[in-house]
Amino acid sequence: MTAYATIARPYAKAAFEYAVANDQLDQWANLLALASKIVIDPQLTRLLHHPKVTSEQLASLFHDLCASLVDEHGRNFISLLAERNRLEALPAMAAFFNRYREDYENTVSVVVQTPHPLTDEQNASLTKALTKRLERDVTLDIELDKSLIGGLRIQANNLVIDGSIRNQLSRMAESLTT
């Protein structure tokens, strides 16, 4: 995202403000998520850089692929991005849009990496603790990562809590070698 952050931020802000003003947060979040997936598809990525493909053709392709999610304003947004060669920044725009939305709704999506699935009780306990710590409503996104060996790695935006055994072993090895 960092490569396109400067480009993506104002577009995401404009899209977010429009979505809030028109009560369309879900529609715009879904549009940006789908358009982001389209941009990172290897076959479509080649089209973005193909010299014979015009911005109008790219916009038309995106309109067709996102047809169920695009209204007139969404079409105009996609067309503007295509015209200004900004389609590749869509994943960063979606990420900024989601952060603006989380701030607006006082929520946060937390990625929890664990080597083993969590029980419902562990999920509830972790959600409660993180809600208290972050002072926001928390949504957990659980990812299984066998390389952690044990423990958890938690990431909420810029906050990272690494309580994994892998991290503890790395720190121990580092302290023994210095």
Q: Which of 102, 137, 167 is the last residue of a domain?
A: 102
| Residue type for position 31 | L
Could you report the per-residue pLDDT of 9-68, keeping only the tens digit for each? 999 999 999 999 999 999 999 999 999 999 999 888 888 888 898 999 999 998 898 888
Give the pLDDT confidence score for residue 135 in this predicted structure.
Answer: 92
Q: What is the dihedral of CA 119, 122, 124, 130, to 10 degrees?
A: -140
Give the pLDDT confidence score for residue 2 in this predicted structure.
Answer: 59
Task: Residue 36: give the domain boundaries.
Answer: 2-102
pLDDT at 159 over 80: yes
Could you report the per-residue pLDDT of 121-156, keeping only the tens digit for each? 999 999 999 999 999 999 999 999 988 888 899 999
Statement to judge: residues 167 and 88 lie in one domain: no
Give the total number of structural domains in the chain. 2
Statement to judge: residues 128 and 145 lie in one domain: yes
